[in-house]
Amino acid sequence: MKADSLKINKVFSSGGDIHYVLPHFQREYAWEKENWQLLVKDIFSIYDVYDDKKPPEHFMGALVVINDGTRNGTVPVFRLVDGQQRLTTISLFLHALGQLVRESDAKLYKRIQRVLINEDEPGLLYYKLLPTKKYSDQASYLAILKNRPVPVNVDSKIPLAYAYFQKDLHTRFQQGKFEPNQLFIVVMNCLQVVFIDLNQNERPYEIFESLNYKGKTLTQADLVRNYIAMKLPETHQTRVFEELWSPIEEMLQERRTVGRSRLGELTAFLRHYLAYHAGVLCNEEHVYSRFRDRGETLDTEGFIEEISVLKRFAEYYNRLLRPENEPDQEIREQLQRLHVLEVSTAYPFLLFAFDAKDKQEISRADFLEGLTLLENYFVRRVLVRESTNYLNKMFPTLARDVDTNQFGTTLRQAILTKNYPSDVRIRQAAEMAKLYSSSGRPRLTFILETINRQLSAGTGAYTQLDGDATIEHIMPQKPSDEWKQALGENLMQDYELLHTLGNLTLVTQEWNSTLSNAPYADKKAILQNHGLLLNKNYFQNGPDIWNGAMIRERAAYLAEQTLAIWPSLGDAPEPRGWQERPKSLTILGEIFEVKSWRDVAHQTAECVAQISDDFTAVTEDVSSYFSLEPFQGTCRQLSNGWWIYVNLSSDNVKRICDSLIDSAGIPEDEYDLEMW
């Protein structure tokens, strides 16, 4: 290894020939506006204090390269192991400066051109820097240097960077803030890097990893790409990257995100793929190390086969993220329904199911039945506002509970043991669960639209909103004086039901604006003549007033509709250890005497209330059981003023308590229930 401090002028061979190429493991150009702004700020800070007798120096970081010999006998070629973001950005800045003076200063324009190109070299050797092909970076960069239009519909950030520099330099030049020749001198002679030249015996991939493994700089997918290059001999790299890895990166782009984790698609896929194999979902920051551990057990041929399998699973994952890519219409439609329900937690199991279908271990009919069972499970969990935390532990192991010879039967049996919501729970939750939220709107819209479709079946009166559906609150979110007067002394209590199922329906955006907080009589007149049977059927003979009692009544009606569409898969077994009568409860070392399940719920909530700064946040996943006003049913008040609904089954109490202690950060070994 040889390290020198070089000016940018020297990095570009002082106007002579040089050629930088990016290895397979390099990621795409990733700098963004904040990085471009900082570079421009640094350059002009130097410009403002520049003294040609004692030029200031500005260190930009490191360039790590490996000498790759020469081309055409004279052009030195370097593989750029680290520093491509800096070098690409400087090149774009210089080209923007060159275009600014192209007509007014041909001499300076020519000097800048010699920095960026090898004038007498053929083909790609003509360019001193050759970016990666990912996200059309190379095509965009070459088009810019040729002064040609950038290819349309590219995801590359290179055109954005170039446009930013063009605009910034043009504005500053028009304002007389710099002289182009002087600015060129500043960039070439004041900006410096540490130029680290590796010899052929050193492993550039390991250098790359040690320089960049900081979590923020590179994604886990970037590090996996580097590891693949490190693991493979040079003789296999080109084929594996071009035929296997590059198609994976094309399908699953890290700039797009998956689910609530907001992980990039490729990182999320790798995480779910590893969970499918290991039976446990690793933390995001461990994806690379888990992949590496798996790779270390394989020889070269085995590792190439692993990447081949990875590509096949990436195709499955692409269909989960974008069901329109599924060629089978019936499967595509079912995947689209699951996609709306946001079932990314189930992806490890769905990867297993896709693979089993393709290996003909299960039939197409089995696969479709599995998708239907999962829809049933997820919809019922939405209706009772079940916490999703449990699912990240459940789905990676679900395949172990399923027999491919009896796929549908064993999957059904397994689901029943996974906190499957009973009909009783759904009927209870319909009255109290606050289903309306910004994140939950697509799922709620799907449920209401499906109810409308079911009501319309066989009538010839089906009306579809075609993506124009919006959720309407019958009792409005911002009540007018007329609404307040109509609700009277029950206003606060009734408004606890604002976001519950019975108070929500579907209309078009146009009708949503019209209805708004109009009086109930006006709303009813519109809804009873509405095109959707979801509205027409109910409100034609519906109540003449609208209050908490009417909301609960409609909630019960809609609950029965949902149970008809997504019927119970069977009786879920009572969780072990919760069948008996409770005796005592120990929380954080303090022992409480409890005589009933109501006591357990009350005491757990009370302890959580005492240690939590934000009780609303802690109870978010079970918010339908908590209120600042007393419930009509059996309830108890906590010391912080909140009320908890306690007329619950042992199953519901366990679920609520599990959610509370998890949200409050109480360790499992600090919460113990003793039974008689």
- For domain 582-675, the CATH architecture is Up-down Bundle (1.20)
Look at residue 93 in the predicted model and tell me its pLDDT. 98
Run of H or E including 109: helix 106-116
- Comparing 146-160, 536-550, 573-587, which segment has the lowest mean pLDDT? 573-587
Residue with more model confidence, 508 or 277: 277
On whether the CB atoms of residues 52 and 177 are closer than 8 A, the answer is no
Name the burial class of residue 114, with classes exposed (0-12), middle (13-18) and buried (19+) by CB atoms within 10 angstroms of its CB. Answer: middle
Q: How far apart are CA 608 and CA 661, in angstroms?
A: 7
Q: How far apart are CA 514 and CA 194, in angstroms?
A: 65
Helix (H, G, I), strand (E, B) or coil at 203: coil
Task: Return the residue matching tokens 């929500």.
Answer: 504
Q: Average pLDDT over the chain, rounded to whole? A: 89
Average pLDDT over residues 500-504: 95
Place 48 in a pLDDT band, splitting at 50, 70 and 90. very high
DSSP-assigned states of every residue in 557-585:
HHHHHHHHHS---SPPPPPTT-SS-EEEE
Beta bridge partners of 470: 507
Going by C-alpha positions, the residue among 466, 465, 534 that lies closest to residue 501 is 534
Is residue 213 pLDDT above 50, yes or no? no
Is residue 447 pLDDT above 90, yes or no? yes
CA dihedral 658, 660, 665, 667 (to 10 degrees): -30
Q: How far apart are CA 582 and CA 601, in angstroms?
A: 11
pLDDT tens digit string along 215-271? 336 789 988 998 898 888 878 988 999 999 999 999 999 889 998 788 999 999 999
Beta bridge partners of 472: 505
Task: Return the residue matching tokens 């803030």.
Answer: 177
Distance, CA of 449 to chain centre? 25
- Comparing 92-96, 161-165, 580-584, which segment has the lowest mean pLDDT? 580-584
Look at residue 55 in the predicted model and tell me its pLDDT. 86
Look at residue 215 in the predicted model and tell me its pLDDT. 34
On whether the CB atoms of residues 294 and 232 are closer than 8 A, the answer is no
Q: How far apart are CA 483 and CA 474, in angstroms?
A: 11
Q: How far apart are CA 610 and CA 364, in angstroms?
A: 53
**CA distances for 569 relative to 169, 376, 406, 408, 587, angstroms:** 66, 8, 16, 11, 35
Angle between helices 423-432 and 364-383 (to 10 degrees): 40
Q: What angle do CA 610, 614, 616 make, to 5 degrees?
A: 105
Average pLDDT over residues 444-456: 92
pLDDT tens digit string along 280-329? 999 999 999 999 999 999 999 999 999 999 999 999 999 999 999 999 99
Distance, CA of 186 to chain centre? 42
pLDDT tens digit string along 555-585? 999 999 999 999 999 986 654 444 568 889 9
Q: How far apart are CA 335 and CA 368, in angstroms?
A: 9
On whether the CB atoms of residues 386 and 425 are closer than 8 A, the answer is no
Sign of torsion, CA 351 356 358 364? negative
Q: What percent of the chain stands above pLDDT 70?
A: 93
Going by C-alpha positions, the residue among 580, 533, 579, 575 that lies closest to residue 558 is 533
Look at residue 510 in the predicted model and tell me its pLDDT. 67
Q: How far apart are CA 35 and CA 33, in angstroms?
A: 5
Look at residue 211 in the predicted model and tell me its pLDDT. 57
Q: How far apart are CA 503 and CA 517, in angstroms?
A: 13
Going by C-alpha positions, the residue among 101, 84, 86 that lies closest to residue 183 is 101
**CA distances for 478 relative to 243, 498, 539, angstroms:** 57, 10, 22
Beta bridge partners of 626: 644
Q: How far apart are CA 181 and CA 441, in angstroms?
A: 57
Q: Which two tokens stand for residue 395?
A: 């789905």
Q: How far apart are CA 611 and CA 437, in angstroms?
A: 26
Place 70 in a pLDDT band, splitting at 50, 70 and 90. confident
Is residue 108 pLDDT above 70, yes or no? yes
- Comparing 35-49, 119-133, 595-609, 641-655, which segment has the lowest mean pLDDT? 641-655
Q: How far apart are CA 67 and CA 78, in angstroms?
A: 5
Place 461 in a pLDDT band, splitting at 50, 70 and 90. low
Q: How far apart are CA 469 and CA 448, in angstroms?
A: 10
On whether the CB atoms of residues 663 and 604 are closer than 8 A, the answer is no
For CATH 1.20.1380, the residue range(s) in the chain are 582-675
Going by C-alpha positions, the residue among 316, 397, 381 that lies closest to residue 342 is 381
Place 469 in a pLDDT band, splitting at 50, 70 and 90. confident
Taking residue 90's Cβ as centre, other Cβ atoms within 10 Å add up to 23
